[in-house]
Structures are given as structure tokens and as C-alpha cells.
Amino acid sequence: MNSFIYDIPTKVYFGPNQLGNLGKELAAYGKKVLLCYGGGSIKKSGLYARVAAQVKEAGLELFELSGIDPNPRVTSVRAGADICKREGVDVVLAVGGGSVLDCSKYIAAGACYDGDPWDFSSGAAAPERALPLITVLTLAATGSEMDNGGVITNIETKDKIGRGYPCMQPKVSFLDPTETYSVGRYQTACGCADILSHLLEIYFVPEGGSMYMLDRFMEGMIKTVIKYAPVALEQPDSYEARANLMWTSSWAINGMAGALQNCGWTCHPIEHELSAIYDITHGLGLAILTPRWMKYVLDDTTVGRFREYGVNVFGIDPSLPTMDIARRSIELTEDFLFNKLGLQSTLTEIGIDSRNFDIMAGKSCHGEVLKGYKALTPEDVRKILEMCL
């Protein structure tokens, strides 16, 4: 069992009617606030007005960066960092989903850096400090509200790179499940696929790479997604469903459950190459990849973990043959993603063919090996992609 450092200092206000604490939390970090958001959805929902009122009431000065895209661009990072430098911003306030939060993390770090913030994604530099970041979450998916990572896309170089730095950890996050009532069916489904993928990436580790207590925690979260995602699709204003999904999205990826993980991730790096080229929704790409990856890595050395997954998550009869349980667990994962969530099940359906598979396979392996649950060569990744057609 590995040693680890647990360090998740983000304070979370969870529930409705917590936004009244935003002003004082912002004021604790300074006077000038850069509000970062995406399209106009927070104006439509009234959240923008409530946030702005908090800023005003606390006597703070507001600057804005809007138009942050899904799969956020380094161009937005640069623009935000420039505002911070020019205006002497004290604290960054991200209001939105994972893309807005990810982008804001890099803005907060870029504000304290003389060079191009793309350096933090390319690996040319690591930020040592960042402006304090406060987030108001509107989508349960990426877990960005409680971790220090973010994924930034560079359209020019067709790169989509995820990295994390301790200084980018949000100081405070506001999680109000009612803010996600207005998230549409498709985005809700993609968000849930993303949460599930985070959990599966950390659940599938070689024998001895985990801890019983954390395994049960992960299984509980996987069961939560499987139970409540369909409820949220049918009853978008089910507080119980939205709250369970939102809190699970944070804990799936904040470092707690995966603290002991002794291997890298698989589907995320491959999906990043997919959406770097095709700009598809991250959760959809993960949904299509995940069961194919599972089938590809299932063998005599991994079957034990699949059995555990099948028995503990889906309640499959433990007296069945081990390989049967494993296969059934993958079928039930597919059933959840494609039938229960109703997501498209193949790349073909979303207009992606094999022409860029070699490029994506090579990039996700960094030209060598993708060190995930099972180490994969570019040839392996290509085969998985072919299974997705």
C-alpha cells in the first residue's frame, strides 16, 4: 500500500441559500475581483445578478471575462491573466461549470507569471503562486471545484493538456444543487459519464494498489451516479438527485479516493486527444471509450478487480464464474451509459472516423506507452479506438 499526502483545503458551502456568504469570502482576499464565466446562461438563470449583488454589497470592484468556451482555450487564459495584471486584481471568481473553473485556475496562476500561461500546460514552467480562486459551480461533472487541476486546449497546436498545481486549488467553492436544475438532459448525461469515468479510472488499479476503506467509498460513489443520474434526467429539479451527483462529482476526483493510486489514467488521456481534434463533449468521449477500454484490458490478471466491481456495484451474484461476472459488469456499464443515460455509443454516430486514430494514439501515449491500469502502446490505443467505431 502506497504512502500519500492528503491535502484538500478547499472550503465548501453546500446547499441552496449559501451565496449570501460569497461577499465576505471574497472580501477576505482583497478588493478587486475578476469574474470569469462562459456564455450567457448565468445571466439567464439570474445567478450573474446574485453574484454581482454580493460583490457590490461587499464594496468590491468587479472586472469581467466572459465567453469562456467548453474545452477552454489558452486564449481565454491569456486574456484573463492580462486583465488581472493590468487592473491589479486580487481574487478570481469563477462562476460556471468545469471549463470555466479550469480556465480560471490558469488565469489565477497566469496573473502571477511574466511568461505565457501556456507554459503551465506545455510543462515549460510550473506556477509557484496564483491569485486566490473562489468558485460558484453550475454543473456536476469535472470536480474542478475541489481539486487543483485543469485542462486547457490550444487550438493552434491541437493540444489539450490537463495538469494540476497546488497553488491553483480553490480557496472556497459554492455548491448549490439547485443551480444545476436548468442543466439540460444531454449535458447532465455527459456530466454523469465524466464523474463515472473519474471513479473508474481510479477504481481500476493493480492488485494491492488500493485500500479496502477507499474501495468501498468509490463503489458507493459509483452506485450514487448509477442511481441518481437517471433520476436527474427524468426529474431535473430533484434536489436529492442533483445534490448526490454534485457532491459525488467533487469527491470522485479531489484526491481522497485515489490517494493510493499507483498507476496513471487511461480513458482521459485518450479522450483529450479525441476532443482536441473534434471538440466533442468530454463526457461523451469518455462514455464511448470506457466500456471498450474495459473489454480490452479484461484478462486473467485483471478479472479479479472486475469481479469486485460487478459484485459490489451491480450486485451480481458472486457465485457465478469470475469471468462471467466481469463481462456482465462491463455490459451493465454499457447499459448505463448508452441506455440509461441515452448517450451515443459509437464514434461513427458522432461523425468521427479512423483517419486521425494514429495521431491520437501516438499523442495519448506520448509516443511510447500509456501507463494506465494496463500499460498500452499506441497500437493498443488504436485498437480501442477501432472498437469505438
228 contacts its own copies (rule: CB under 8 A): yes
| Dihedral (CA of 71, 74, 75, 77) sign | positive
Type of residue numbered 48: Y
CB of 365 to its own copies, least distance (A): 30
Strands 149-154 and 159-164, bridge-based pairing: antiparallel
Strands 91-96 and 32-36, bridge-based pairing: parallel
Site for its own copies in 123-162 (CB under 8 A): none
Which one of 201, 219, 271, 380 is in contact with its own copies (CB under 8 A)? Answer: 219
Rounded Cα distance, 294 and 297, in Å:
5
Residue 140, CB half-sphere, CA atoms under 13 Å: how many?
A: 36
14 contacts its own copies (rule: CB under 8 A): yes
24 contacts its own copies (rule: CB under 8 A): no
12 contacts its own copies (rule: CB under 8 A): yes
Which one of 106, 165, 247, 309 is in contact with its own copies (CB under 8 A)? Answer: 247
Question: Helix, strand or coil for residue 164?
Answer: strand
Which one of 19, 79, 155, 259 is in contact with its own copies (CB under 8 A)? Answer: 259
Which one of 54, 99, 187, 224 is in contact with its own copies (CB under 8 A)? Answer: 224
| φ, ψ (nearest 5 deg) of residue 114 | -80, -30
Q: For its own copies, give the closer residue by CB, 19 or 359.
A: 19
Q: For its own copies, give the closer residue by CB, 252 or 352.
A: 252
Q: For its own copies, give the closer residue by CB, 243 or 297.
A: 243
Q: For its own copies, give the closer residue by CB, 219 or 380.
A: 219
Rounded Cα distance, 240 and 224, in Å:
11
Rounded Cα distance, 130 and 132, in Å:
6
CB of 219 to its own copies, least distance (A): 7
Q: Which stretch binds its own copies (CB under 8 A): 147-155, 185-193, 209-217, 335-343?
A: 209-217
319 contacts its own copies (rule: CB under 8 A): no
DSSP string, 105-149: HHHHHHTT-SS-THHHHHTS---S----EEEEE--SSS-GGGSSE
Question: Which set of grid coordinates corresponds to residue 277?
Answer: 481534434
Rounded Cα distance, 389 and 385, in Å:
7
CB of 312 to its own copies, least distance (A): 10
Q: Which residues of the chain form contacts with its own copies (CB under 8 A)?
A: 1-9, 11-18, 211-217, 219-221, 223-224, 227-228, 239-240, 243-244, 247-248, 251, 259
